Amino acid sequence: MTRKLLVATHNPGKVREYQALLADLPLEVTYLDAEGITLEVAETGHTFTENAALKATTYARAAGLWAWADDSGLEVDALDGAPGVYSARYGGPGASDADRYRKLLDALTGVPWVGRTARFRCVVALATPAGDVQTAAGACEGVIAFGPAGSNGFGYDPVFYLPDRGQTMAQLPAETKHAISHRGRAARAAERLLAAMLRG
């Protein structure tokens, strides 16, 4: 039996990524717009895990379907883990990706290379309509560059430098990024959880 899995996003590009990732499982992957779901869930959690679980459980209950939700962001050690869960809202309402990473670079003015360590973190939550929830996490370590480079990716990718690659996340081809990114790692861990849930 093919089960329907609701991915808690309005982004069809993200859904295509997940459809490819989960192609081996007996699932029909759908998303909010395709199901006519306009409910917005406020991200009131203090951690990525809390926000992902909140979204997954709310949408699973509302749709009567298994739901997949993620929350992710950037943690900068020199800023005590900021912007963290506020990564998407850093810079205020209406701020662009460039506005956000420029604010971040300004906040790190004078911080030497050795002190600019950071990581992208992602948590995926899987929830059933009955309220059962499981989570999987992924992280990607790097350094905040002194300026942006690259035109691929989005968000903070242009200033997230990977020392072992000698490039920013925004300079990597998409396939390479998905293989090493926080979201790719969390998604692959969640895929294993999902396979176990389907067997159960």
Which of the residues are catalytic?
71
Strand order in the sheet with 160-162: 27-31, 3-7, 66-76, 117-127, 133-144, 160-162, 167-168
Per-residue tokens: 55: 């979204």
Burial 180-191 (b: 16+ CB within 10 A, else e): ebbbbbbbebbb
Q: For the chain, how many residues are written? A: 200
Neighbours of 89 (CB within 10 A): 13
Distance CA 69, CA 114 (A): 34
3-state secondary structure of 144: strand
